A and B are shown apart, each in its own frame.
Chain A
Amino acid sequence: MKGTSRREFIVNLGKWAFAGCIMTPGLAFLSGCADSLGQVATNLLDPTRIDSLKKTYATVTKSFKDITPEQEYYIGRTIGAVILQKYKPYPNERANRYINLIGQSVAQASDLPETYGGYHFLIQDSEEINALAAPGGLVFITKGILRCCRSEDAVAAVLAHEVGHVQYRHGLQAIKKSRITSAATALGIEGAKTFGSDDLADLTSTFEDSISDITKTLINSGYSRSFERQADRAAVTIMKRVGYDPQALVDMLMVMKKRLKPGGLDFARTHPSPQSRIDALQKVTGSYRKVRVPAVRQKRFQRYLALV
């Protein structure tokens, strides 16, 4: 009890009683817990304090929105590391810098330009057609999908689509609700310095489960059609704001359509067909017209693409 007042100890006791309750799924249990805590704590805490306890823990379990940008950052880092297990990085400094310049341009124009750790973009050394975003703004793009791009505007389209997933926090929504509930017990834990080893072990397994929920969706099953459509629409908005031609997204999808192997293992499995995306996009961008890019931009695009 060194350094802890009696009152703090009691408050902590209450918190732990509650943390245990929240681990039990189901709101009925939660409210039941609130009552029993009320009984246990009546002799220890004054009524306003009990109310605040109830209020705090009743609101804890809402949704992925309760995951703070800081926690999202740590989830994103690990997702990034897992994605890098699948595709190795392509460590060409100049090419990566080019991708980061385009990526940051589109990220700045998104509705979520500021994330805890910021946006960072990396090319992956794979001929598979794919692009992936980890929560918080780590974005990965394969050489394979870069080869589907016929202009810088098309690269911007791919990156803006991924930024769209980050902006809408689609990755976090893949985490099963039951995990958010148990992660929320962490609210009862004050901070890194006060983790006991059991708490840390619990929290780490919740973390592992959440990571696996996201990677299963990202790498194996893919997002829902509506999430993909949302990301495509975000891409169009972002491109208009920056000054890239939104038709370049359609252009990229047309190339992708020709190159994707039906029933393939990569993008084909995790995304709606390029044609269905084109059809949905044309409701926003109008019918397709050829993308026109200033010569100076096209020249630098070809110069950098030659590096990958």
Chain B
Amino acid sequence: MKDRILQMGLAMVILIAMVSAVAAAGTVLSVQVRESALRSSPSFLGSVVGKVTYGNQVILREEKNPWKKVSFLSGKITGWIHESALTTKKIVLVAGKTAVETGASSDELAIAGKGFNAEVEEEFKKKNKEVDFTWVDKMEKITVSPKEISRFLKKGQVVAKGGSK
């Protein structure tokens, strides 16, 4: 019984080690949003040191949950990015290289432009002419920068207790 508990404990330790190894320094991650930025500090207010776009690959250097310090593969630029912009999956941008050919599972790989995409949206529009996308396009153009947000919160005396995330 004791041995069993010991074994289970050991298995747990190994499991935890494996899980944390997944995101260890040196791991290659991909940008899963259309565009984002690498910043000088782990905050949206950090100054932008580099831009990243969909499918770009970066190397993990350091973590401060939920922020990750990463470098371009070239190693030239290093900066912080929120974890929600990244995936451990490799994003394949070029048609022709499929999951099958690389032997990767869908856990490891995503193909850009697969499935529901701009082409499907166009087809949907043709079939559903009454659905108007004008204001969807317009609202997507409404953007405010992290600096504007910061100024807005400051002016309204919106202050996080214990500092902002």
Question: Top 6 nearest A-B pairs by Cβ distance?
Answer: A191-B95, A186-B115, A52-B103, A114-B85, A243-B160, A297-B156
Q: Which of B90-123 contact A (CB under 8 A)?
A: 95-96, 98-101, 103-107, 110-121, 123
Chain B residues within 8 Å of A191, by CB:
95, 111-114
Choose, from B7-15, B21-29, B70-78, B140-148, the stretch at the interface: B140-148
Contact assessment for B105 and A105 in the assembled complex, using a CB-CB cutoff below 8 Å: no
Give Cα A79 to B53, complex, Å: 25
Binding site secondary structure of chain B = loop
In the complex, B139 has a CB within 8 A of chain A: yes
Given A11, A66, A204, which contacts B120 in the complex, CB threshold below 8 Å? A204
What is the interface residue range for chain B against chain A? Answer: 35 or more
Are B136 and A121 closer than 8 Å at their CB atoms?
no
B106/A116 in contact, CB under 8 A: no
Residues of B within 8 A of A49 (CB): 100, 103
For A81, list chain B residues within 8 Å (CB). 131-133, 135-136
Contact indicator B149/A192 (Cβ below 8 Å)? no
Of all chain A residues, the one with the shortest Cβ separation from B95 is A191
A68 touches which one: B85, B110, B159 (CB < 8 A)?
B110
Q: Which of A66, A71, A89, A117 meets B135, CB within 8 Å?
A: A89
Q: Let me know if B160 and A240 touch, CB within 8 A.
A: yes
Query: In the bound complex, how far is the Cα of B154 from the Cα of A300, in angstroms?
Result: 13
Query: Chain A interface (Cβ within 8 Å of chain B)?
Result: 8, 11, 14-15, 48-49, 52-53, 55-56, 59-60, 62, 66-71, 73-75, 77-78, 80-82, 84-85, 89, 96-97, 100-101, 104-105, 108-109, 111-118, 120-122, 138, 152, 183-184, 186-195, 200-201, 203-204, 207-208, 210-211, 240-244, 294, 296-297, 300
Contact A242:B120 (CB < 8 A) given known A56-B100, A59-B106: no
Least distance between B63 CB and chain A CB atoms (Å): 15
Bound CA span A79–B101, Å: 34
Given contacts A69-B33, A243-B153, A187 and B116 within 8 Å (CB-CB): no
Instruction: Enumerate 27 A-B pairs (CB-CB under 8 Å) in ascending A order.
Output: A11-B101, A52-B103, A53-B100, A68-B110, A68-B115, A69-B33, A70-B32, A71-B117, A74-B116, A75-B116, A81-B131, A81-B135, A89-B139, A96-B142, A111-B84, A115-B33, A116-B33, A118-B34, A118-B140, A188-B100, A191-B113, A201-B123, A207-B120, A207-B123, A243-B161, A296-B155, A297-B158
What 10 new A-B contacts, CB under 8 Å, besides A114-B85, A116-B32? Answer: A68-B115, A77-B136, A101-B148, A120-B142, A190-B96, A190-B114, A191-B114, A207-B124, A211-B124, A296-B156
CB distance from B67 to the nearest CB of A (A): 11
Chain B residues whose C-beta falls within 8 Å of the C-beta of A187 in the assembled complex? 99, 106, 111, 114-115
For the complex, give the distance between the alpha carbons of A112 and B106 in Å. Answer: 22
Chain B minimum-CB-distance residue to A211: B124
Residue of B nearest to A244 (CB): B158
In the assembled complex, B157 has its CB within 8 A of some CB on chain A:
yes
Give the chain A neighbours of B111 by CB distance below 8 A.
187, 190-191
- Neighbouring A residues of B161 by C-beta, 8 Å: 240, 243
Name, among A183, A184, A186, A296, the residue most crowded by chain B CB atoms within 10 Å (CB to CB). Answer: A186
